[in-house]
Amino acid sequence: MKAIAVIPGKANSLHFEDAPDPVPEAGEVLVRVLRVGLCGTDAEINAALYGEAPAGSSYLILGHENFGVVESVGSGVEGFKPGDTVVASVRRPCTECFNCQHGRADLCTSGHYTERGIKGRHGYMAERYAESPEFLFKIDKAIREIGVLLEPMTIVEKGVAESLQIQKRLPSTPRTAVVFGAGPVGLLGAAALRVRDLDTIVVSMEPETDIRAEIAKQMGCRYHSVASSPLDKLATQIPAPDIILECTGSSAVGFAAMQMLAADGILCLLSVTGGDKTELVHAAEINRDLVLRNNVVFGSVNASPTHYRLAIRAMKAAEKKWPGALGKLITTRLPWTDFAKWFDRQVSGIKTTLEIGS
């Protein structure tokens, strides 16, 4: 079969690979891939910043955001049948740590987990893959057109769910939220907050006329463009938020967000800071505020099966409340033979997918 692969450690090695057809074992499901979503992780692996091939392979098939259709099921498989549309999760547990052995590979303590399309396992930029049903999630008709967004939605669902879990320490409930960044993760985060009825403000660089602002407003969010009002003035213009999701990848924004929190507020970091820029921060002031205001700052990555189910529920709720809003995040659908256009930065927009099957 055809697959898009890299040679880990070799920059700009992305190529079409003639890979062996997957042969499902008993108890596995064979899935034909319809589309994959592209994200910064894919670009960073192609740049040789990280990425690890499976044992015995010289290449790594890319792709972790996925959507496909079941072609066949092995003996003993229950709950899936040919024709079902599905999304597969990304991380697979290690054999060592307690968390992995109890269904929380997203909280692996050994670091010896594997990840489809990232670390030690082939990904989904291929015509087909075989998988155990425990790592598959059925997508019904209501969200089939946006099913490829499920994996990034799980990331924000985990962040939001854990923020709300932490806030059970309080007799009150969170009412206001700010999302920094109007990329796919930021706008999905805004959707996750809005389906829970939080008053949500999306803050980003793009002007009020941008489609990102349109999507945010369609979901009932307020939109604030720092192009017209600098970030350091934002805190004086909006209510102090109970929850902040940081989705920009900027360390400067992360530190600024800490100082904007309401008393007892939560800052969830959902992006990995890139680059090597040094930031000058008021460490003593930040420390004092965190302590005296009972603030919490935490990071979140990957997701558990529970968060996949929560994400499916949130996407259904969002589609019912704001039909078509999440679909607008997919701004470009490329034939997968044109993958180089995205990696060469010839394509802009919010989310690009590679269309593999039909």
Q: What does the pLDDT look like over 147-205, one tens digit per residue?
A: 999 999 999 999 999 999 999 999 999 999 999 999 999 999 999 999 999 999 999 99
Question: According to the model, what pLDDT value does residue 274 have?
Answer: 65
Same domain, 78 and 208: no
Please count the structural domains in the chain: 2
pLDDT the model gives residue 168? 96
> Is residue 276 very low, low, confident or very high in pLDDT (cuts 50, 70, 90)?
low
Average pLDDT, integer, range 300-305:
94
**Is residue 268 a part of any domain in this protein?**
yes
Asked if residue 133 and residue 27 are part of one domain, the reply reads yes
pLDDT tens across 94-138, in order?
999 999 999 999 999 999 999 999 999 999 999 999 999 999 999
Domain with 203 in it: what CATH number?
Answer: 3.40.50.720
Residues 129 and 166 reside in one and the same domain: no
Q: Does the structure show a pLDDT above 70 at 234?
A: yes
Claim: this prediction has a pTM higher than 0.75: yes
Specify whether 278 is located in the same domain as 248.
yes
pLDDT band at 227 (very low <50, low <70, confident <90, very high): confident
For residue 231, what pLDDT is reported?
76
Across residues 228-238, what is the average pLDDT? 79
**Averaged pLDDT for residues 327-331:** 98
Per-residue pLDDT reduced to its tens digit, 53-64: 999 999 999 999
pLDDT score for 156: 97
Same domain as 295, residue 174:
yes
SS3 of the chain: the string is CEEEEECCCCCCCCEEEECCCCCCCCCCEEEEEEEEECCHHHHHHHCCCCCECCCCCCCEECCCEEEEEEEEECCCCCCCCCCCEEEECCEECCCCCHHHHCCCHHHCCCCCCEEECCEEECCCCECEEEECHHHEEEECHHHHHHHHHHHHHHHHHHHHHHHHHHHHHCCCCCCEEEEECCCHHHHHHHHHHHCCCCEEEEEECCCCCCHHHHHHHHCCCEEEECCCCCHHHHCCCCCCCCEEEECCCCHHHHHHHHHHCCCCCEEEECCCCCCCCCCCCCHHHHHHHHHHCCCEEEECCCCCHHHHHHHHHHHHHHHHHCCCCHHHHEEEEEEHHHHHHHHCCCCCCCEEEEECCC
